[in-house]
A and B are shown apart, each in its own frame.
Chain A
């Protein structure tokens, strides 16, 4: 079943308080640009982990590939 980018956007925004996300994709491969105050002071690794954690084991399975760019809320 194809995944709707809008679903990913909503789940990111619900999963990371205060975040806003833009997600594009073809149903299998997605690009997400996520801004969140929660990213402030975190390394990129830690920022990306917060996004990955929203989807857990769905990554690589239902969500075949997810490219992430993170921004702190100030950027």
Chain B
């Protein structure tokens, strides 16, 4: 354990959630267009994901960016790896790479209702970065 509970909590969230989105706001109420677009892509694929709102505490974003070496929000992690922000997620969605990364089928042509995002509710880490879905 490091002496940085926030960093530990973020790392645990990344390790424990196969698909995790750090975003501004919540999937129901995104607080930023980039976060909203990223959520929409995941939902259109019917991909369950956990989400962490970075807005309640500025330290979340600060520690996340130091950990991931990525300066902007949103940030999508799949199986513990940073996939990218909104631009990369959109580009990968359009090319079909995102669907491969997530192991889902592209919904086009198939009857597929957008699934409700599954909420992975974790016990509250030290600084309450649990999502508020």
Contact = CB atoms under 8 A, between A and B. Distances in A.
A: contact size bracket: 10 to 19
A67 B92 CA distance: 15
Given A45-B84, A48-B84, A69 B71 contact: no
B88 interface: yes
A44 B71 CA distance: 15
B85 interface: yes
B88 A44 contact: yes
Interface of A: 44-45, 48-49, 52, 56, 59-60, 65-69
Contacts of B82: 45
B14 to A, nearest CB: 15
B87 interface: yes
